[in-house]
Structure 1
Amino acid sequence: MNWPNTILTERLSIRYPIIQAPMAGGPGTPQLVAAVSNAGGLGCLASSYLHPDALRQAIAEVRALTDQPFAVNLPVGHPAKIDSKRITRACELLAPYRAELGLPPASPPLPELPGFDEQLDVILETQVPALSFIFGIPDTQYLNLLREAGITLLGTATHLLEAIVLEESGVDFIIAQGAEAGGHRGTFIGHPEQGLVGTLTLAPLLAKHVSAPIIAAGGIMDGRGIAAARVLGAAGVQMGTAFLACRESGAHPAYKALLSQGSEIATTLSRVFTGRHGRVLRNRLVNELCAHEADLPGFPFQLFLTQDLQQAAAERGLTDFMALWAGQGCHLCEDRPATELLAAWVKQASALLRGENSPEPIHTLPPVNHQEKPIDSDLINPSCFI
């Protein structure tokens, strides 16, 4: 089996078929993006909440730190329709938490996110080597402009139908986002539950039924996962949670501290923070509003209603009210420089793919606390996972 050279490394002129997943809201700093690219992978800059000038500046910061290829990720999906009733209800539900942090009640009017057109103009202007996207597919006119500019295109699929549609659009690679992945779910066709397919099932399924090369994502935390993805037919992997606790990550210190607690942390799917389903660490806000998720507005309105709450919590180090995006492999995070992590993963994957004994896992987990209280049955309401 050819390793580490794959169609992904050849197309993007990188040494290793490892993509750092885009992580908006703090963790995905230009320093992290550049460090991964300098180490031979493909760093990826999240642009979800960046207006054109901020996006342009972030790209410039990456370029000042590396001369290697990197990618930018753009969200494609259309915003939800304004639902005044849901917005009002969300304001009521959030009021006690806002009061607890000394914030005034949330109220419309709400701000606007940057438009896709504006962000795309920056991508074309700055000639980034690769563009990944999530929540849908750009219009044909945009795809044509990107192809003419020589920009490699990576789309995100959470089930087979999405992958087929992406292939028909002519993308160069398809990121198979398994249910284990942290952050927003990329599902854009059907109900979100339809996209909750594990990576070990999704990657080979897509590799079998579409001809575009597959990038496996979700639950991949070290060389063992990288090797497994290659065996399953993936041309590469995308890893996000694995970088959360690394030195270059911009994740809040309290956020990183939680990642070291091993068995005492758990993830779930929630739309409490943005109005879109995403995998997060359980905290007080997620647990207490879980039963009310059906009452909340969609993206970006719920995001606007919680942004200052999250910011106030971050300033105080209160993880109970922060959006702690993380995948199911979060127990395996390591506090090391990104370069060291990448080197260890490559060494481990290479040994496994050569049929040798794997180097010892690099992870050290805290002991399991057998005195933990059982999970409250109210917190495993099926509505939390839809």
Structure 2
Amino acid sequence: MNHDLLARLGLRLPIIQGPMTGSDTPQLAAAVSAAGGLGFLGCGMRSPAAMLEAAAAVRAATDKPFGMNLFVLETPLPDDAEVAAAMERLAPLYARFGLQPEPPARWCEDFAMQFEALIQARPAVASFTFGILSSAQVRRIKTDAGSYVIGTATTPAEALAWAEVGANAVVASGLEAGGHRGTFLGDWDGSQIGTIALVPACVDALRIPVIAAGAIMDGRGIAAALALGAQAVQMGTAFLACPESAITPAQRAAMAGAQATDTRLTRIFSGRPARGILNDAMRTLAPHEAEIPAYPIQNALMGPVRRAAAQTGDAGHIALWAGQGVGAVRALTAGVLLQTLEREWRDARNLL
């Protein structure tokens, strides 16, 4: 096994916690890092001030390295007709929760301001998804923040694009992974490559480390990913059930009874394909998938519905993000889960 990535980041274990924007917490990131992995803060929807606050909370809990993730986005300028049509489609859901349909004050956080906050926070690792940085931006993160830069790729072409702009490593995210697809080149359907096919293709194409992601839930999966040439794995769904995560009781209950066949890729919650557990909202809006505006417009418009559903414990109308490995989740504390994964990985590695 090539330990370049682990040595560079000072990690004892080849395990990276997925950023899981909205479900992450400083407590989860700190617990993962303290146990020998790399904890992450998902900052795609955090304000710059909230990013700095979360980073400070992790540092107050551990002196180990951690990462911060951002969505590479431009603030959209949708026309009034597109917004009106989207809101009309969502009117029944707004009515269900007694909400007044109205456009949000803003569609998303300002990426440029988030980028500056990330540099100020100076995390050990800065990762990005939904798009790609320029070479100049990558150089600035390395120089001004001293951070190790990781890009997200769903195809070998995307992995090569990240390498060309100077990323230190790439997460090869298979179609099995929960949450949003990071695709930014090519079409959505053509980018649905499974983890076991994507990882070795990226390893063969790149000279920088590859991190495997997608339905890796136990030590066997870690050993398999490393055997394919990955230097580490990124695990999201496996950490969702930890008590340190921010998911609601309704999502915990839904995950506890779900299997791989219960997950689907959908655009209805955010406007970007994402994998989650099938529920009523997905069934209701499925006929309108092709008409739904892109992220972050749909994401902002569905925000009030998701929040109201979460407050009332209505699992049918929240985004139940989870990967195809959901049937193997274990409700363990992050520290105990890392210990378990380490033992399983070492046992599995001895069998290879």
Q: TM-score, normalised by structure 2?
A: 0.96
SS at match of 2:287: helix
- The whole-number CA distance in structure 1 between the counterparts of 2:81 and 2:249 is 37
Answer whether contact 1:263 1:331 (CA < 8 A) is retained.
yes
- The whole-number CA distance in structure 2 between the counterparts of 1:117 and 1:85 is 28
SS at match of 2:184: coil
Asked whether 1:120 is paired with 2:145, we answer no
Post-superposition offset of 1:263: 4.1
Structure 2 partner of 1:351: 347
- The whole-number CA distance in structure 2 between the counterparts of 1:10 and 1:260 is 36
Asked whether 1:310 is paired with 2:311, we answer no
Give the % identical residues: 42
- The whole-number CA distance in structure 2 between the counterparts of 1:112 and 1:292 is 21
Structure 2 partner of 1:212: 208
* CA gap 1:57/1:175 in 2 versus in 1, 3 angstroms: same
The ranges of structure 1 where at least 4 consecutive aligned residues each deviate by more than 4 angstroms after the TM superposition are: none
Structure 1 partner of 2:93: 97
Answer whether contact 2:107 2:297 (CA < 8 A) is retained.
no
- The whole-number CA distance in structure 1 between the counterparts of 2:75 and 2:298 is 11
User: Counterparts of 1:254-333 in structure 2 under 5 Å?
Assistant: 254-263=250-259, 266-333=262-329
User: Counterparts of 1:137-156 in structure 2 under 5 Å?
Assistant: 137-149=132-144, 150-156=146-152
User: Counterparts of 1:230-241 in structure 2 under 5 Å?
Assistant: 230-241=226-237
Give unpaired runs (5+ residues) of structure 2: none
Structure 2 partner of 1:163: 159
User: Counterparts of 1:19-30 in structure 2 under 5 Å?
Assistant: 19-25=16-22, 27-30=23-26
Post-superposition offset of 1:87: 2.1
Post-superposition offset of 1:110: 4.2
Q: Which amino acid aligns with 1:84?
A: D
Answer whether contact 1:76 1:133 (CA < 8 A) is retained.
yes
Give unpaired runs (5+ residues) of structure 1: 357-386
Structure 1 partner of 2:188: 192
Asked whether 1:46 is paired with 2:42, we answer yes
Q: Which amino acid aligns with 1:20?
A: Q
Q: TM-score, normalised by structure 1?
A: 0.88
Q: Which amino acid aligns with 1:127?
A: R
SS at match of 1:147: helix
Structure 2 partner of 1:228: 224
- The whole-number CA distance in structure 2 between the counterparts of 1:115 and 1:43 is 24
Q: Which amino acid aligns with 1:298?
A: A
Post-superposition offset of 1:135: 1.4
Structure 2 partner of 1:371: none
Asked whether 1:13 is paired with 2:10, we answer yes
How many residue pairs were aligned?
Answer: 351
Answer whether contact 2:135 2:166 (CA < 8 A) is retained.
no
Deviates more, 1:146-155 or 1:74-83: 74-83
Deviates more, 1:63-72 or 1:297-306: 297-306
Q: Which amino acid aligns with 1:355?
A: L
Structure 2 partner of 1:134: 129
SS at match of 2:50: helix
- The whole-number CA distance in structure 2 between the counterparts of 1:22 and 1:243 is 10
Asked whether 1:342 is paired with 2:333, we answer no
- The whole-number CA distance in structure 1 between the counterparts of 2:339 and 2:103 is 48
SS at match of 1:111: coil
SS at match of 1:354: helix
* CA gap 1:343/1:244 in 2 versus in 1, 3 angstroms: same
SS at match of 1:45: strand
Q: Which amino acid aligns with 2:324?
A: Q
Deviates more, 1:316-325 or 1:91-100: 91-100
* CA gap 1:42/1:264 in 2 versus in 1, 3 angstroms: closer
